[in-house]
Amino acid sequence: MTPDDGPDPALPPANASAGGAGDPARAGKSRPEHLLLYVDGACSGNPGPCGSAAILKTDDGTTILERARAFGPATNNVAEYQAVILGLEMAAELKPRRLTIRSDSELLVRQVAGEYRVKAPHLKPLYNQVRRLLEPFESVEIQHIPRTQNTEADKLSKVAVEKARTVDAALPPEARKKPHTKTFRLK
């Protein structure tokens, strides 16, 4: 399974809003002013089978949409970046004017915020993809939060890891030795 496989049908499906309205951008409703994006990535081994998860919420905490993706083998930092990419793709569907990204990965937050340089060559294309996906939003904030405030995304990413482990176990041993890499052409 590759990071480009999209949401896994065996993982929990995207949630509609509590009122059953579904996707406000597609239902003809106005563009949301602000959404919260909770993201998390996890691995079983480093590198190993991975999962990433993203949950979009309103300011009052109502979950609008959630998705998980199983992939790997890769590193935990790749899983964290894949979670942000997944979440930004979800947010782009709803087109909020403002977005607040929340993650318990301090490295990811500081790199995306520009406080830390991205030195690892395998993370640079992912960082560049995140920067490109941020462009459509009028305003974006990224916040480092404690793990205790990110439990929903954490649980969802671990479900995706279990799915990735199942796929990984079916691969011959020689296919599991090296992490897969993916290069993203931006221009």
Tokens representing 132? 């490109």
Per-residue pLDDT, 168: 66
Q: What pLDDT does 77 receive?
A: 97
Q: Are 156 and 55 in contact (CB under 8 A)?
A: yes
pLDDT confidence of residue 181: 52
The DSSP line for 38-106 is EEEEEESSSSEEEEEEEEEE-TT--EEEEEEEEEEEE-HHHHHHHHHHHHHHHHHHH--SEEEEEES-H
Q: Which pLDDT value is given to residue 72?
A: 87
Q: Is domain 3-18+31-166 annotated with CATH 3.40.50.970?
A: no
Domain residue spans of the chain: 3-18+31-166
Per run of 10 residues, the mean pLDDT along the chain (length 187 residues) is 41 38 49 95 93 97 96 94 98 96 97 96 97 96 96 97 82 58 49
Nearest Cα neighbor of 176 from 73, 79, 24 is 73
What is the rounded CA–CA span in Å between residue 127 and residue 149? Answer: 24
> Do residues 88 and 67 make contact, with C-beta atoms less than 8 angstroms apart?
no
pTM attached to this predicted model: 0.78
Residue 31: what pLDDT? 83
